[in-house]
Amino acid sequence: METPDNATETPGPTGIAAQDWATAAVDPQYRAAVVDLLGALAYGELAAFERLAEDAKLAPTLADKAELAKMASAEFHHFERLTDRLTAIEVEPTGAMEPFARALDDFHRQTAPSDWLEGLVKAYVGDSIASDFYREVAARLDSDTRSLVLAVLDDTGHGNFAVEKVRAAIEADPRVGGRLALWARRLMGEALSQAQRVVADRDALSTMLVGGVADGFDLAEVGRMFSRITEAHTKRMAALGLAA
Amino acid sequence: METPDNATETPGPTGIAAQDWATAAVDPQYRAAVVDLLGALAYGELAAFERLAEDAKLAPTLADKAELAKMASAEFHHFERLTDRLTAIEVEPTGAMEPFARALDDFHRQTAPSDWLEGLVKAYVGDSIASDFYREVAARLDSDTRSLVLAVLDDTGHGNFAVEKVRAAIEADPRVGGRLALWARRLMGEALSQAQRVVADRDALSTMLVGGVADGFDLAEVGRMFSRITEAHTKRMAALGLAA
């Protein structure tokens, strides 16, 4: 239980990241940005719930169906934590989510999987990109909001299940890899295009992203962030046996 | 914390209902009947999860959608408790569920709601009939299985939400009541016809129901049980403003 005296070697967070919610939320623009973020994340979880429950129908076996239903249920619990948080800071959750409904609905509509494997790749890619993005943003958030965002991103557990199934399918029939690689590329393109639309529409959120509110963010840094996310995606696809 | 000495006034359970699982399961036919029951219940929960998640798409508002997603997630947790129990008694859950998949899938396919209100009535009616049936059966089960069956039937909470919404819709437009009454009748008919198919197919389960294993059950009692369930359904429909 010793705490070594090395505080000077690993500097703690500074700026907003060093503040709790009560302190940081005094700034109305920061507050609005966080409400946007929680609203987007909550609607994202609800949409993911719907999508996974829908994809469960494509499952080849009862055990696979149960696995997807489990993931869907986990997303629903994240949704609940996020809407509970919105309620706790006196924001009506529906109002906070609505601005993001169209972009997320459009994303899901335009990337409806045509079979079980496409559904798995989508669950994996979508979940990974979302995690990467929110983890990047989380580092710039006040300590209370950061804990919540990291907690709901922590235990989705889509990864292993999807990776295992997709790898086995490619091994059994290598042509499947080419088709799924194209699919993963389409998912990434569609996700980026919807993300751009959201950033263009939501002043508070995008101001936070380009450094107007949270410190340490500027336009070049946003560019680097998207590079990191795209790179991580490419690595994941390679690990999956798909050329991204 | 006093326990009044009135054991003679309210006699405790007798026969299998007085035994725990370890004792009752020595009889292989009883064991097979319980595996059937848990398998049917588990698949029913998984199918209900899928159905509710699907119906969430018909929700007129984001809040309604979240409410249905919540119900779906609750069903999934029941599913998990039941499959965990099957695993604990060394039965592979998938194998236990499979014999009931067709009847439940057919039921859901033939009663796909065409709108939000039909979906709500179905959730309410289906849940109520299933609860009534399993509660009747539970009284004849060993104490461990009974506790589990009662626990997973306890907190679905579909009732109030559906009743409130359907009543409001009938008040706003009384013609809706006639259409939904027909729909409820169709649901009941389809449920009975699938139940009969299951009973005809599954020896262990039906033997238990007609008294071959669990005591206190005979054919006349099964008839009375179905009467009680139908009566309860009629009363619920009347309370909902629907002539059953």
HEC readout, A157-181? CHHHHHHHHHHHHHHHCCHHHHHHH
Residue A28 and residue A213: Cα distance in Å, rounded? 10
* Of A57, A80, A97, Cβ closest to residue B62: A97
Mutation target vs A (from B43, B45, B49, B82; most A CBs, 10 A cutoff): B49
Which residue of A46, A57, A94 is in closest CB contact with B50? Answer: A57
The Cα–Cα gap between B100 and B11 comes to 36
**pLDDT value at B137 more than 60:** yes
* % pLDDT > 90, chain B: 43
B70 touches chain A (CB under 8 A): yes
Q: How far apart are CA A172 and CA A151, in angstroms?
A: 37
The phi, psi pair for B115, rounded to 5°, reads -155, 180
**More confident of the two residues B109 and B195:** B109
pLDDT digits (tens, 9 = 90+) for A51-85: 899 888 899 999 999 999 999 999 999 999 999 99
Mean per-residue pLDDT for B59-64?
92
Q: So what's the pLDDT on residue B125?
A: 87
Q: Return the biggest CA–CA distance within chain A.
A: 57
Given B54, B70, B79, which is nearest A76 (Cβ)? B70
Is ipTM > 0.85 here?
no
B39 neighbors B205 (Cβ within 8 angstroms):
no
Q: What is the pLDDT of residue A78?
A: 92
Bigger pLDDT: B224 vs A234: A234
Task: Test B70 with A80 for CB contact under 8 angstroms.
Answer: yes
Residue owning tokens 């005094």: A26
Please report the pLDDT score of residue B206 as a whole number. 72
User: Could you give the domains of chain A?
Assistant: 25-239 (1.20.1260.10)
Instruction: Write the pLDDT tens digit of every residue in A161-207.
Output: 888 899 999 999 989 999 999 999 899 888 888 877 777 777 777 77
Structure confidence at residue A46 (pLDDT)? 94
Report the gap between the CA of A162 and the closest CA in chain B (Å): 20
Which chain A residue has its CA at the smallest distance from B62's CA?
A94
Q: How confident is the model at residue B158 (pLDDT cuts 50, 70, 90)?
A: low
CA–CA distances in Å: residue A50 to residues A33, A43, A190: 26, 11, 19
Residue A128 predicted with pLDDT over 70: yes
Quick check: helix, strand or coil at residue A140? coil
